[in-house]
Amino acid sequence: MICQECQKREAAIHIKKMVNGVKKEQYLCEVCAAKKSADASSKIFNLKHLLSALMEMEGSSSELSVPKEKRLECPNCGVSYERFKSISRFGCAECYQSFETKIEPLFRKIHGNSIHRGKTPKRKGKEYSLNQKIKTLKIKMQQAINEEAFEEAAKIRDEIKSLEEGK
């Protein structure tokens, strides 16, 4: 098949796009595909700039004007909050705790919550939720047995059994 862009070279790349619910397909040679890729990369939305802008809205005063001993810094890796804002990346896992007071409002703005709860798969969502509930009940039952609350453990066992039968 011939490239649909230049009409000269053999098409080596197949591109599929959905635009307003309409599927568009394009067959391009490597040269035209590289050119399109370069054009598209200049238009890609930059998440780093968005995060930096949101953080700037949180505290408009620059940390550079604050004396070094008063700057917010991670004690583990030494990354300052100002550095985090500029690169939009933490230096280590402890940065989350070090910058917690500054980033929690940011997470709330972006995600609507500061705690990640994850998603339940649509296809197996009910089965997954049921399995999770059974798993939790088994842990509670074991705790009741360890505490010698055998009546409570028996109730939980019966609940587990009814859930497993309903699968």
- Distance (Å, whole) CA 95 – CA 72: 10
**pLDDT tens across the length of the chain (167 residues):** 899 999 999 988 888 888 788 888 888 888 888 887 766 544 445 555 666 666 665 554 444 455 554 578 889 888 888 888 877 788 888 888 888 888 888 777 777 777 766 666 667 677 888 888 999 999 999 999 999 999 999 999 999 999 998 76
* Token duo for residue 9: 């070279």
Give the pLDDT of residue 62: 47
In this prediction, residue 64 carries a pLDDT of: 47
Rounded to 10°, the helix 100-111/47-58 angle is: 120
Q: Please report the pLDDT score of residue 69 as a whole number.
A: 47
**pLDDT value of residue 44:** 45
Q: Phi first, then psi: what are they for 98, rounded to 5°?
A: -65, -40
Residue 18 main-chain phi, psi, to 5 deg: -110, 115
Strand residue runs (E) in 10-162:
13-19, 22-28
The pLDDT of residue 151 is 95
